[in-house]
Amino acid sequence: MVGLVLLAILLLTLPFAIRAATKPRDRGRGLRWQGIKWTSPDSAAPAAADTGEDGVARALARQRAGDLDGALAEYDRALALGRTSLVLNNRGCALLEDGQPERALDDLREAVALDPENATAQCSLAEAQARTGNLSAALQSLRRAVALDASWLEYARSAEGFSALRGFDPAREWLAGGRD
């Protein structure tokens, strides 16, 4: 008798089980895990929509306010969402500003590898190389940056980060004329 009751219940619930198994889940329903707490979908939407660009904007604001530790933390969060040339370049510049040129070089090399046509990343790499004393590599990177965007030549002529390069004989004449 118990077996017949269970069989009847199974047969009655089978269509619902099949529908539930084949129907795509509505992501707007229910709760979502957000790190350490549960939140409703409405309150989770802004966090889920966060992009690396949002993190870069927050990081730049902190960097401009002089909060390098906060800026670096924001760049780290943005990189967790995706490693892009923009985020790597900006974190590399923040690391340079924070007095960490070796770490900056790693980020800037990766930024250039991801987007070799990015003149800003090329110029940032040149500045990091100049600050670490690798003047030949700095000149090569700066030449690539200027070939992509000539405005970087004027920056290199006056920026503090390129002072060592301006004293480097092979670079001095090129910086004065800007021609290869």
> Each residue of 72-110: pLDDT tens digit?
999 999 999 999 999 999 999 999 999 999 999 999 999
Mean pLDDT, rounded, of the chain: 82
**Mean pLDDT value across residues 161-171:** 92
Residue 11 binned pLDDT confidence (cut-offs 50, 70, 90): confident
pLDDT at position 152: 94
The pLDDT value recorded for residue 6 is 73
Given this model, what pLDDT does residue 16 score? 66
Q: Which amino acid is at 32?
A: R
Examine the pLDDT at 44 and tell me if it is beyond 50: no
pLDDT value at residue 46 = 44
Neighbours of 155 (CB within 10 A): 16
| Mean of pLDDT values over 131-152 | 95
Q: Which residue ranges form the domains of the chain, and what is each CATH number?
A: 48-177 (1.25.40.10)
Under DSSP, the state recorded for 23 is S
On whether the pTM is more than 0.75, the answer is no
More confident residue, 156 or 26: 156
Could you tell me where the DSSP H helices lie in 2-118? Answer: 2-22, 41-49, 52-64, 68-81, 85-97, 101-114
Looking at the chain, the whole-number percentage of residues with pLDDT higher than 90 is: 63
What is the predicted pLDDT for the residue at 85?
94
CA-CA distance, 97 to 59, in Å (whole number)? 13
The whole-number average pLDDT for the span 153-177 is 90
- Rg (alpha carbons) of the chain, rounded to whole number: 27
